[in-house]
Amino acid sequence: MGMCFLRGWKGVLGRKLFVFATILFAASIVYFYIDIPLKLNTGVTEEGPTYNDIYTYDETTTIENKPVQRFDKPFNKSSNDVIVFVHIQKTAGTTFEKFLVRYQQSLPCKCQAHKKRCNCGRNASNETWLFSRYSTGWVCGLHADFTELVVNSCVERVLDKQAGHKKKRNYFYTTFLRNPTDRFISEFRHVQRGATWISSKHVCDGRPASVNDLPTCFDPRIGWEGVSLEEFISCPYNLAFNRQTRMLSNLSLVGCYEHLRKPSYEQDKIMMDSAKMNLRNMAFFGIKERMDDSQFYFENTFDMKFSRKMSVWGKSKSNDTVLTESQLAYIQNVNKLDWELYEYAVKLFDERVSLLRQKQRMRG
């Protein structure tokens, strides 16, 4: 009797194990044939995105399922349109942002003495038309880049939170660029004076970069004040290298900051193509070396006139930096991505300014 019970118990257990194994095998088949292709089609793999899997952009492609704003859509001052400024360090961005809040009256901002931020609310709703350092503040992080502002939807989340509900808006992205060598030297001098931007979040794929993701070039407790040029250019994790390209690209496409630890031609190409595409689709971008043309470009794109000339305010404090020929050559080489982007930007800038001047002449 006991032996029969034991054999019966084993039989039931065996059948249950067989059923469980069958279900597990079927689930693995479904996972392999369904889930894996979905991951490849969305550019997500266990080892991160690859060029062939995900980078097939054209003029109408979206980034992370988010539409890229077209630059040729007119800005509506009385609607839900918002100007978003991507502030890249040492590109005259501070000058431009100050002009937006203090020296234009088309959509005046209310500024108070001794306060950096101004109220750029529009109409009775008081919802801002400007997302920038001197209006909303660094709400997406200090010098937040394209990945943080757009890909991670920070701008949209912040404005929805301020409004108290989700709202459809048109975002007009803007930025400023600068001669890469001059910009790099200016950043070096700024860091030498004590700046570090250590509080920047560097959010990518929904999370801030860790120390393992992005090692620092200095002891955060001490800073980098007084750093020599040789030390500054010797740190492989120095974010001053190709800063403009990196801050205008979608870093999710290259595994966030993996390109700093394992640089490759493929990753450089992905970042470059992404930065160029995002630049093309910006409503406006200025060139520091062309401040008068930049002001003309902005004023005629947004129908906003500044009461002062930006060229008077955009002077550099780093023109007296002395470099050897080898140092200059090295700086140009390590910023080769920024040089490619800058040369592309200048050509695109010339085309847009020329087109605006033609339209101005046609209007008489």
Task: Give the pLDDT score at 125.
Answer: 77
Q: Are 232 and 327 in contact (CB under 8 A)?
A: no
The yes-or-no verdict on residue 311 having pLDDT over 50 is yes
Q: What is the pLDDT of residues 147-203, one digit of tens each?
A: 999 999 999 999 999 999 999 999 999 999 999 999 999 999 999 999 999 999 999
87 included as an active-site residue: no
pLDDT at 49 over 60: no
pLDDT of residue 252: 96
Q: What percent of the chain has pLDDT over 70?
A: 79
98: Cβ contacts below 8 Å, ≥ 6 apart: 134, 313
Q: Copy the structure tokens of residue 270.
A: 């992905």
Per-residue pLDDT averaged across 279-292, rounded?
Answer: 97
Q: The tokens of 56 are what?
A: 């097939």
Q: Which of 87, 143, 202, 259 is catalytic?
A: 143
Residue-wise burial string across 286-304, b where 16 or more C-beta atoms lie within 10 A, e elsewhere: bbbbbbebbbebbbbbbeb
Distance CA(141)–CA(144), nearest Å, equals 5
Lowest mean pLDDT among 40-44, 125-129, 157-161, 262-266: 40-44
Q: What is the pLDDT of residues 146-162, one digit of tens each?
A: 999 999 999 999 999 99
d(CA 226, CA 223): 9
33 exposure class (CB count in 10 Å sphere: 0-12, 13-18, 19+): exposed
294 closest CA partner among 145, 109, 92, 87: 92
Phi, psi dihedrals of residue 130, rounded to the nearest 5°: -135, 125
Look at residues 244, 140, 258, 133 and name the one whose alpha carbon lies nearest to residue 199: 140
Which spans in the chain are helix H?
Answer: 2-30, 36-41, 51-54, 93-102, 146, 154-163, 180-192, 229-234, 243-248, 258-261, 265-280, 291-302, 310-313, 325-334, 336-363
The predicted structure's pLDDT at residue 68? 53
Taking the C-alpha atoms of residue 241 and residue 190, their distance in angstroms, rounded to an integer, is 15
Identify the structural domains of the chain with CATH numbers, from first to last. Answer: 61-193+201-363 (3.40.50)
Would you state the torsion angle of the CA atoms of residues 59, 34, 253, 280, taken in this order, to the nearest 10 degrees?
Answer: 10
User: So what's the pLDDT on residue 70?
Assistant: 56
Helix count and strand count (H, E) for the chain: 15, 6
The dihedrals phi and psi of 231, each to the nearest 5 degrees, come to -70, -40
- Structure tokens given for 198: 């250590």
- In sequence order, the β-bridge partners of residue 110 are 119
